[in-house]
Chains A and B, each alone.
Chain A
Amino acid sequence: MKTLKNIAVWLDDRLHLTALWASSAGHEVPASSGSWWYVFGSATLLCFVIQVLTGICLAFVYVPSTNEAYTSLEYLNHAQFWGWYLRAVHYWGSNMMVAFMTCHMIQVFLFGAYKYPRELTWISGIFLLLCTLALSFTGQVMRWDQDAYWGLGIGASILGRIPLIGAQMVRLVLAGPIIAGETLSRFFTLHVFVIPGLIMAIVAMHLRLVLAKGINEYPRPGYKVHRATYDADYADLIHKEGVPFVPDAIGKDLIFSAFTIVLILFLAFVFGPKGPRGIPDPTIVDTSPQPDFYFLCIYAALALLPDWMETFVMFFAPAAGILFLLALPFFAGTGEKSAKRRPVAVLSVILVMLVIVTLAWFGLTVPWSPHMNAWSGDAIPAQFLAGRTPLEMHGAIVLQNKQCRDCHALGGHGGHRGPALDSIATRMTPDLMVRQVVQGGGNMPAYGKKLSPAEVEALVAFMRTLRPQSTPPSRDSAPPMNRLPRDFAVVVPPHTAQATIKK
């Protein structure tokens, strides 16, 4: 026993462990910071550790070669002992890392923790956010399937819009003129060496800053941060109600950490790994690439933006967003911390999250994309065919064969790019239908060259029948010659009309 104690004393003397402990794990924090709201940062870091551990294991087997990567993923899924499970843990760990990081960021924002004197903690956090998103994108490329291939194509096409140096940027990122050769090696290097290295360095700084400037106290409504007095107030708070982080304030972090690990293990076990989906053979063109969920909102925004503002928004919006986040602690660095006194902050978070979730939902359902197989796969429901004349029936065949269903739903089936046709006859007159079909417009291609006059006639005859039984078809509003237009009669006040008649 005495020997053990001597060894411990010797180690402490040589390594200064007691001093290290006192300045790190044992440092004093405000008792109020031992809150469930404060667990997300450590959970994000824990996810990163899990990613490093599982990532190293996967790299034991994964082959970062364009030709072999897909096969090695299949090998991991099916042949390597517990390979599928480690892939699943890595995938769900990455999802959780993004999720907890988002929670952490929202918490830090709503608790005013970015304010004086913790500006650099916030800024290093922004860089960690960017690194984590970069890890997500490069990780998606590691899953070398059709999504990865065409996802890279989208990334390259975005870079190709950069003015002046677009072409060079495309070649820099693809490591060549096309997606092949060194492309995967480049992304592998970024994913396993460069970005994790950056994250470790920035996390070290992030934690160093938490120690140096102290963790944010639980905000009290009414207490305002002033640059002149805050440091003294904080020192006073630590003096009055400071407790050592370990063991007094770490309890909830510990419990949440265990929960995080079990949650990831559980999700991985139940849902398994993601993909790889289709072999990365670009000659298989019947594919619908879709990004992982973190990028669905961007994917949706790119489909919904008007083309004249698209390139501008593509580069300006992210740059402006990042600059705003970086500048935040400098223009809002003092004042109230409590979310109860910061309605604009709360509303901003709600608005941003609503936008992201809504766009992601659109990204998942892709209402703007034609349903490529609707024309051959979706039947026309019987109620739209019963009792129709031969001409109308022929029109239904034209509708199906000319692939109108890819964009127009009938009875809820088909694409949603264009309006559903269930009650088209109540909205458009025959003349309007002919014009729309032949000339297109409003985001619909013109079919004039692909349809004979007889086909157009049949198609319009069929569409005239598409309306609820109780609703009459729309009529041409052009009036008979001897009657005032109805709109005109409504707009013109009676005495004016009479006056005109008197004249």
Chain B
Amino acid sequence: MTHDEPVPKKAPDIADEMAEPPKETASRRDWMFMVGTAVNVAAGLLLLVPLAGYVFSSFVQHKDPRDWISLGSLDDYPEKTTRLATYRNPFTRPWDGKTADIPCWVRRLSGNQFQVFAINCAHLGCPVRWFQPSGLFMCPCHGGVYYEDGSRASGPPPRGLFQYDYKVENGELWVKGGEMPTLANPV
């Protein structure tokens, strides 16, 4: 610095203010801090409402996702047989691919008498398989076994297989599907 910088003209004014500080400063700062904190808490809560609502929408929306779906003609299910059927989940997204194809076991007793079992084991949701010769459903995960009518035969399941509501209309079998069955929501 070889040359003198011009002295700021305001300097004396600032010095005057410093000499006589406003008497209310401390409480004014306290007030600013408290109000500032309060408005931020309020604003933060405002921000939280849409965020939490978005993420936890399952607790807010109670719309039943289920709908009637056709499993095809009755002729596909001969009497006294159990067959695997698949349907496209009614609430599907364009990027779902194969995962929205849901399997289920259809047992036709006679005429319009059916039992439609969810694929998910009542124990922990693994896919049960049907064994015609022994008339049993068996689960590969923890060894749950069910009789052909879906009742529990052995292993850890706490109940029989989950069953879909069904109806017969226009020569077709319809089931009410759309939600993964669990103990909290047995179809």
Q: Which residues of A contact B (CB under 8 A)?
A: 65-68, 149-150, 153-154, 156-162, 165-172, 174, 176-182, 279-283, 285-289, 299, 302-303, 305, 307, 310-311, 366, 368-370, 372, 375, 401-404, 406, 417, 440, 443-447, 449-450
Expressed in whole angstroms, the minimum distance between the Cβ of A453 and any Cβ of chain B is 17
Say whether, besides A172-B58, A370-B143, A372-B129, A167 and B182 are in contact (CB < 8 Å): yes
Expressed in whole angstroms, the minimum distance between the Cβ of B86 and any Cβ of chain A is 5
Expressed in whole angstroms, the Cα–Cα distance for A67 and B120 within the complex equals 22
B125 at the interface (CB under 8 A from A): yes
Expressed in whole angstroms, the minimum distance between the Cβ of A456 and any Cβ of chain B is 14
Which residue of B99, B139, B179 contacts A281 across the interface (Cβ within 8 Å)? B99
Task: Name the residue of chain A whose CB is nearest to the CB of B182.
Answer: A160
**Stretch touching chain A among B1-9, B15-23, B34-42, B88-96:** B88-96
Q: Which residues of B contact A (CB under 8 A)?
A: 55-56, 58-59, 65-66, 84, 86, 89, 91-93, 95-103, 119-120, 123-129, 131, 133-136, 138-143, 145, 147, 153-158, 178-180, 182-185
Expressed in whole angstroms, the minimum distance between the Cβ of B22 and any Cβ of chain A is 36
Shortest Cβ-Cβ A-B pairs, 6 listed = A160-B182, A67-B97, A166-B184, A171-B58, A445-B153, A303-B142
CB-defined contacts of B131 to chain A, threshold 8 Å: 403, 406
CB-defined contacts of A153 to chain B, threshold 8 Å: 120, 124-126, 180
CB-defined contacts of B93 to chain A, threshold 8 Å: 66, 180-182
Expressed in whole angstroms, the Cα–Cα distance for A168 and B93 within the complex equals 20
A178 touches B100 (CB 8 A): yes
CB-defined contacts of B95 to chain A, threshold 8 Å: 65-68, 181
Expressed in whole angstroms, the Cα–Cα distance for A67 and B158 within the complex equals 34
CB-defined contacts of A283 to chain B, threshold 8 Å: 84, 86, 98, 101-103
| A-B pairs with beta carbons under 8 Å apart, 18 shown | A65-B97, A67-B99, A156-B182, A157-B120, A166-B185, A177-B65, A180-B93, A282-B127, A283-B102, A285-B119, A289-B140, A302-B156, A303-B143, A303-B156, A307-B156, A375-B133, A443-B155, A445-B145
Which residue of B98, B102, B153, B183 contacts A446 across the interface (Cβ within 8 Å)? B153
B99 touches A285 (CB 8 A): no
Expressed in whole angstroms, the Cα–Cα distance for A180 and B133 within the complex equals 34
Say whether, besides A159-B182, A302-B142, A310-B156, A154 and B56 are in contact (CB < 8 Å): no
Beyond A176-B91, A289-B141, list 5 extra A-B contacts (CB 8 Å): A67-B99, A154-B126, A160-B185, A180-B89, A283-B98
Which residue of A150, A166, A375, A445 contacts B127 across the interface (Cβ within 8 Å)? A150
B178 touches A285 (CB 8 A): no
Which residue of A177, A180, A299, A368 contacts B96 across the interface (Cβ within 8 Å)? A180
A156 touches B153 (CB 8 A): no
**What does DSSP make chain A's interface, helix, strand, loop or mixed?**
loop
Say whether, besides A282-B119, A285-B84, A445 and B154 are in contact (CB < 8 Å): yes
CB-defined contacts of A443 to chain B, threshold 8 Å: 154-155
A158 touches B96 (CB 8 A): no
A403 touches B100 (CB 8 A): no
B99 touches A280 (CB 8 A): yes
Expressed in whole angstroms, the Cα–Cα distance for A303 and B184 within the complex equals 20
CB-defined contacts of B153 to chain A, threshold 8 Å: 440, 445-446
B138 touches A370 (CB 8 A): yes
Which residue of A166, A172, A281 contacts B59 across the interface (Cβ within 8 Å)? A172
Task: Name the residue of chain A whose CB is nearest to the CB of B62.
Answer: A168
CB-defined contacts of B133 to chain A, threshold 8 Å: 375, 401-403, 450
B183 touches A369 (CB 8 A): no
Expressed in whole angstroms, the minimum distance between the Cβ of B60 and any Cβ of chain A is 9
CB-defined contacts of A289 to chain B, threshold 8 Å: 126, 140-141
Say whether, besides A157-B125, A285-B84, A287-B127, A450 and B98 are in contact (CB < 8 Å): no
A368 touches B142 (CB 8 A): yes
Which residue of B55, B123, B129, B135 contacts A286 across the interface (Cβ within 8 Å)? B129
Expressed in whole angstroms, the Cα–Cα distance for A372 and B132 within the complex equals 12
CB-defined contacts of A154 to chain B, threshold 8 Å: 124-126, 141
Expressed in whole angstroms, the Cα–Cα distance for A279 and B97 within the complex equals 11
Most buried by A among B66, B91, B140, B141: B141
Task: Name the residue of chain A whose CB is nearest to the CB of B185.
Answer: A167
Which residue of B84, B124, B134, B143 contacts A450 across the interface (Cβ within 8 Å)? B134
A150 touches B185 (CB 8 A): no
Expressed in whole angstroms, the Cα–Cα distance for A444 and B153 within the complex equals 7
B179 touches A178 (CB 8 A): yes
Expressed in whole angstroms, the minimum distance between the Cβ of A106 and any Cβ of chain B is 29
